[in-house]
Structure 1
Amino acid sequence: MSLRVAVFEDNKLVRDSFEAILNGTDGFSCTGSFSGCNNLNHDIQRSQPDVILMDIEMSGMNGIEATKIIRQQHPGIKILIQTVFEDDDKIFAAICAGASGYMLKKTSPGKLIEALQEVYNGGAPMSPGVATRVFTLFQKFAPPQEVSEQESVHLSKREKEILLLMTEGDNYHTIAKKCFLSYDTVRTHVRSIYRKLHVVSVNQAIVKAFKQRLI
């Protein structure tokens, strides 16, 4: 079954390019291509996506506002932001709104396809420069959190290694190669990290890990 992707992008050339890439890649289909988010719920109901590829700057409702609404009303849909912006304010706002990943538009088609698959599988792909900024932002805004012995979290050496690579924006495939593990083994470790930290996303895991000085 194909991974269903809806595209929200105001530039027609870029939008058509994304649609062609998706429909030309095995295992993917573009189920909707929209120039804006002003009819957001109607467009989502019509396209029934698994993942949304979302631009930030569009006329009317912008991509960050749309992301907040989607996370509230359609929590099962993953959102991958793709934009030309790599400033801290936009990145932080997108993550706080509930975006699962943040890629720059200069990302190659192959990397974009990998990122969409990664988001669908529960990952949080980011362009390398963006990942560095996110790492810095979390260090800046996540103060240490005192925890009792009963609340303390004990991650294995391998789990800490994987979590650290996730903060650098590495996807599951890249982590698997760096750690000489299979893709499924990496997913198993990530599920264990989520369970131990009582979180449901990479972003939540990173914030909690920084607060508790786990990495």
Structure 2
Amino acid sequence: MLRETTMSKLRPSTFSEEASLIQKAEAPVGSGRIWHGQIFKNTFTRNGRRIKLKHWSVKIQHQRRRRTFSLLPSSRAQALKEAQEIHRMILEHGWETAIHFHQLRKLARSKQPPTGDILEQPMSKASQAYWQQRLIECKYTEAKLTPGREWTVRIEHGGNYHYFPLGTDDRAAAAIQALKIYLAVVEKGWKAACQQFSREITLAIFWAVSPVAVTYTTIYSILEKTKQADTPAPARSARKKGWRVAIVEPDGGLKEALVFWLNRQPGFECNEIWISAEEALSRLEHRHPDMILVNRLQPGMRAMELVDKLKARFPQLPVFTYGIYEDSDQIFIRVSGVRTGYIFKRRTPGELLEPILGAFKHGALDSKEVFTQIKNYFQSFFGGESSEKENLAMANLTDRELKVLNCVSKGYLDKEIAHELGISLWTVHNHLKNTYEKLNVHTRTEAALKYLQK
């Protein structure tokens, strides 16, 4: 099936020209050879003289609509790149968003303030109004490095999403910052945008795998350019020397955030940072940390393979994995299907290593003693008055609400729950809302955990 997208300066008048345009339409969007002949410089006549403009232009046709875009770069290579970006934007987001994005980029490069008619186009992702309606009040203020309220926003693009703190409690300013982040994601890609802007992430440490026992928290990535100026020095521990923690983390922004918070755990200090499994195995010949934390997503060697090698070489050394997620729901979704159950506990960033604090009494972080402390820590959450209240709340759920919750505990998405139970998506949302209220929870992860721990 031919794609109805062509880029041309002149309307095709012959079969060979039309076939050439069809071939271009079927070529990959990023194909440089296709675009090389499509950009041109406009000309005009003044006082009998023909004058050629300095900047390049491109004419794009898609879905029976045609428009000429004036390209900002003066060099041909950069103009080609911008033409490709505009075309990709049209294919992915439609004409209005592409035109609006192009207008905003022209204003940004010319350093002119946006006018009202540009900022207030209705419900385009490239509009301030769109993001102002999607601001979220920051819930986890303990993760902030500066005091005060602020807005966050969830930005989706290309099938991925991340949450970003916006650094202000002013709605208009927050919406402008959200728009700026979104445009960076679209223009530069996720990797570059996450290096430019701090993002909100969920950090989860996996203390046991059967059952899955996790403490998790929300932190912000720390940008390289701001770490010196904006991150306060850690408070000194009461101990003369903290337990030494090494981390294996390839991402620079996450590495800085992990070091920041590990140095604020009572009695711990992060003194080794390795960016790969190979570096960790090599450095351990000369370095001797008391505990190692390994990112579950390692380039090259798998995290569990690295953990097995470390434990084989150093049987008494406690080694744990941790995961980085877009939000807390993703922890449960990624590990759903474990038959032995789940124990997930949200902590503040300064309490993340709480499960092993009891091991201090014995003077060394011996792996056997550490795992005993972990077992006692998580078992302490069962029984008592709070459990009786949770059991009573669970008893108040209707049969249909329990069925929905059972599906949630298996990692089903809302659409899958609707299909499984033969009900509408709206009914699923309504049951989940009622369940959250009865169980006094705010996310599907918290609801699923209470169901599994009932």
- Which band: TM-score by shorter chain? 0.3 to 0.5
Higher relative contact order (CA 8 A, sep 6+): 1
TM-score, reference length from structure 1: 0.47
Structure with the larger strand share:
2
Structure with the larger helix share:
1
TM-score, reference length from structure 2: 0.24
Which has the higher Rg, Structure 1 or Structure 2?
Answer: 2
